[in-house]
Amino acid sequence: MKPCPAVPRGRTKHEGRSKTLPAGRMSETVFPAAAQRTAGRRFVLPLERMNNPHPDRGDPITGQVFWYSRLFMAAARDGAPVLAARKPRPTCGSGARSRHRKLFRTRHRFGMAARSVSNSPLRWCQDMIPQPFRPPRLLSIATAVPPEVLIQDHIIQESRELLQARFSQFDRLAPAFQNAGIDTRHSVVPLDWFRHPHGWVDRTEAYAAGATRLFREAAGGALDQAGLSAAQVDIVVTVSSTGIVTPTLEALTARAMGFRPDAMRVPVFGLGCAGGVSGLSIARDLATARPGAVVLMVAVETCTVLFRLDRLTKADIIATALFGDGAAAVVLRAGVDGADAQPELGQGRQHMWPDTLGIMGWTVEETGLGVVFDRSIPTFAEAELRAALDALAPDRSVDRYVCHPGGAKVITALETTLDLAEGVLDIERQVLSRYGNMSAPTVLFVLEAVLRSGQRGDLMALALGPGFTLSTLPITVR
């Protein structure tokens, strides 16, 4: 099948013959089709072409659909606006009127009214016209923490009782608790749980129970804010790196939440502290690929259940001083009118530095996951982040960075490398002080607080995670 040719106004081209049409014979309606790239071109399909039968079937109804389809496909391909005939009219003579009456009767046999072009086969072809791109919008964001509160001063005392006899350098590292910039944290298990040794079974049970509760609370809060039900969710993205369960968390909570059986599940593991930004980027791309679909992204971490009495390294002590549990959920959707006031999500980007696998991550051991947490992270971020960020988003103006607060020293390093005045990342410090480092959800706690503060303009969410990877996501708030 040859593509529909571009035909000048007032002329038609059929079976190799061209002729000029009288001005009164051309009745046109303009339809929007890729108007952004018009370049002064137009496609016109004259009235006679509308009356031509289908080239293979000889049917006037399918013939109209065929010719309209070719018109719109050609226009969409070349990015030109479309000018098409209104409903076909008889040209002249009793024969033409008879053919027109037969066409009307044929339409009615197919259940179509022939009174206006809106009820003609043209209506079927209008779906082929490219629609304006409506970017993904953040409809809501909600957070959740478990009820067990860990006060940092109490944790210092408890850690000294548990660890000092086992770890000779504890007193030298104890200031890490006081200098972490943390007042309270939350845990899915009570403080007494940490006084006893645990293996994979205990940790997995604690993870599954605590993470599903947090999932339901955060996801339910985000859906309530968006005015949606779980049955309206089309895609669920679950981000978690502090436990392993199969089926995954969104499946374990599906019945209680009320997700549809055909909802798409996208569990993501291993992103660590970068999971909040990377997970939101994944959700954003899925929403873009399926306009109108409701996408729910949930980041859940239970860092505290990974505490190890049998493995005491510097990294373990630092992790004991920093990490807490929490969850955050986001609802987003693309291609919907009336959401222009909601934050717009741009395309996420990542940068992974070579030969940095040992900076952050997990080791898999007999009794649980072992934390890999290099003390050089603040220094590395201060030295390397700016160049990577400039490569990912060159010449981009940013009104407010939304950063994952990995620790007090990391926040200071971010302010230095991003050329920010000291104290600008105040919300990051507040989130860290109140909740500690919850890994993936933490940056979403910051984003929620930044949006609640009334911040407008161009935002840039960023986080550092295993790989060693920088994850970024631009957000525009009008």
Other Cβ atoms less than 10 A from the Cβ of 449: the count is 19
Q: Three-state SS for 200? A: helix
From the number of C-beta atoms within 10 Å of its C-beta (0-12, 13-18, 19+), residue 338 rates as: exposed
Contact residues for 293 (Cβ-Cβ < 8 A; gap 6+): 234, 235, 286, 287, 333, 334
Cα dihedral value 281, 283, 284, 290, nearest 10: 150
From the number of C-beta atoms within 10 Å of its C-beta (0-12, 13-18, 19+), residue 130 rates as: middle
Q: Which amino acid is at 434?
A: R
Backbone angles phi and psi of 60, in degrees to 5 = -65, -35
Q: Three-state SS for 170? A: helix
Catalytic residue among 125, 273, 303, 403: 273
Whose tokens are 């009570």? That residue is: 190
What would the two tokens of residue 264 be? Answer: 């798409």
Which residues is 458 bridged to in the sheet? 476
Return d(Cα 370, Cα 382) in angstroms, integer: 26
Rounded to the nearest 10 degrees, the angle between the axes of helix 377-392 and helix 408-417 is 40
CA 283, 284, 286, 290 torsion-angle sign: positive
Whether residue 273 lies in the annotated active site: yes
> Which positions are catalytic?
273
